[in-house]
Chains A and B, each alone.
Chain A
């Protein structure tokens, strides 16, 4: 190549390079996706877990068990102040990791989660409890607000369910359950035993509900 021919070749090369930047075709394929599904789970007392704890890959299921909490008031103690109640639930270990969390038969295990896309406050699930107005024994009534609870758990860093007293006849919110976290607590119930009531077996059922937005 002689010295007089380099210019056109260089220009042609440059043009070729420039041409490479121009898209030949603006093709693209698109995949449309929807966010993750929602799920919710609540266990109060005896739950159902198969395949080990949740952390080890266990799967939560439905349990038809309705546990009882009871106390027998000795005749000599009638009206003399709070008495601890005991439960027939045998769930003492955390369903999350098997840690010995609750003391049975004194405490009732409560746990659950709300799985949903997103994070943070403002879109939490709500744990509530509804109690009837009264425990009943035949025609006799005993207000449900005579039953209270304290919340705890062995080695718990924070109490997830606050202690409280049943609001007789109404639903009451207990906690907001943040998305994508397992919550749990142990509830110890007490009978106020603040008055003299007729002899009998007073019963009533409360219902815990976890509601997603």
Chain B
């Protein structure tokens, strides 16, 4: 190897090391490459949902969960990924002092799942074959009613990774 070729090779190795270090700097590589999807066309069935006690009477063996059910028509603009294989996650953003659990049944294309505040869960794996992905969701929301003392807004969004 002559000196010129050696320098090029060395630079090449250092460059890839830099990229590797860049990729490894995040605790979760998948999260690092996730793209937030435009779901601004999504529709929620009711503007405000009243939480109900799962067990209306407090007792020794009853819980203090409050819950509600909300219908959501998820509309995701996937035009940029037409024809590509993707993974789509639903994210429930952190919600103040309360930890909420959201669970849903799967629709025609979305997977069933559960997630808590601050988490994301896989809801779709496959090839994108429509620019506007539209799917109804029946969301069951629950939290500890003893700590939920004021109205709150729960923010959901979708993240996409190219498979």
Contact = CB atoms under 8 A, between A and B. Distances in A.
Interface in B103-154: 139, 141, 145-154
Contact of B147 (A24, A41, A118): A118
A17 B20 CA distance: 12
A20 B52 CA distance: 41
Contacts of B74: 29
Interface residues of B, number: 60
A115 B54 CA distance: 12
Contacts of A119: 146-147
Nearest to B148: A35
Interface in B87-112: 93
Interface of B is mostly: mixed
Contacts of B147: 118-119
A37 B150 contact: no
Contacts of B77: 25, 27
Contact of A118 (B22, B40, B44, B146): B146
Interface in A71-91: none
Contacts of A20: 33, 35
Contacts, number: 161
A27 B43 CA distance: 12
A33 B35 contact: no
A124 to B, nearest CB: 13
Interface stretch (A138-146, A175-183, A191-199): A175-183
Interface string A15-51: 0010011011111111111111101010000000000
A30 B16 CA distance: 42
Given A35-B66, A36-B66, A117-B145, A29 B36 contact: no
Contacts of B33: 17, 20-21
B19 interface: yes
Given A24-B37, A25-B36, A118-B149, A30 B56 contact: no
Interface of B: 5, 8-9, 11-12, 15-16, 19, 22-23, 32-33, 35-40, 42-44, 47-53, 56-62, 64, 66, 68, 70, 72, 74, 77, 80, 93, 139, 141, 145-158
Interface of A: 3-4, 6-7, 10, 13-14, 17, 20-21, 23-37, 39, 41, 54-55, 59-60, 96-97, 113, 115, 117-119, 179-182
